Structures are given as C-alpha cells and as structure tokens.
Amino acid sequence: MDLTHINEQGRARMVDVSQKDDTERVAVAQAVVRMQLETLRTIQGGGIRKGDVLAVAQVAGIMGAKQTPSLIPMCHPLMLTAVDVKFDFDEDNPGIIITAQVKTTGKTGVEMEAITAVTVAALTVYDMAKAVDRWMEITDVKLVEKAGGKSGHLRRSEA
C-alpha cells in the first residue's frame, strides 16, 4: 500500500493535488454529545448561564471548519463555499446530535473540515454546559457522506 502522505525519504509531506480537476466537493459529518436529560432540557430552554449554547456552538463549528488546515498538518487550505451546522435533540438517549455539511469546489475533499466542524461544535457544547454536567460525553464522531472527486458519492451504511 502506498502512503500518499510519506515522501521517498519516509517523511511526512502534503500530497500534490495540482493535477486533479476542480470538482464540487461535499462532506457531511456527525458527532453526538451525550448528557443528562436535565442538561439537555436546560440547553433547549436557554438556561445555561454562559449564553445560547447552540448559537455559540454553531459559530464555533463554522470557525473550526475554516481553521482545519491550521490544526491538521497535512490538510490543504481550501476556499470553503458553504458550512452549515445543525443540531437535533435526542431525549430517549439524552444528547445533542450535531451534523455539519461543508462544500467547496476544488481539487481535494472537505471530509476533514466537516469532521472538525462537528468536533469543535461538540467541544463548545461541553465547555458551555460543563458547569451543570461535568460527565457529558462526546461520541460517535464520523463522516456520514461525501461527494465529488474520483471516488464519487459515498454514504455510510448504518447496518
């Protein structure tokens, strides 16, 4: 197996994508923040003292996507054309399901940007609500879907 991020001297390198065609690239990632039901209801009701948890986490997720190449050494800086972060509530298994969709038109995909967006959003939820629930858990961080480039459209099967 060829490791694309290793040069002939066995050292890390950023992959050369200059010969690739520009295509529309889309990636969707997801993360879950598990918490006590009371914590979830406090967040839903806007009762966290630090402020609007979801509004701040949404902005943090967008900023995280934009900062990915500063955080992940071999990621290419990309001109993102869209970042959307959404939240769903799970009261049966209390938590917040965070989903991010990231788009660009370019030579490489935005999977890392989408994963970074949900992770930073999840960390922000934790930071803002930790005073009422220190034992929250960030779980199930994953790529859900990607489209564009040589591999085409792929979607995770939940089987």
State yes or no: is 92 an active-site residue: no
- In the set 84, 127, 133, 140, the catalytic residue is 127
Candidates 76, 82, 66; CA nearest to 121 is 66
Q: Which residues are designated catalytic?
A: 127
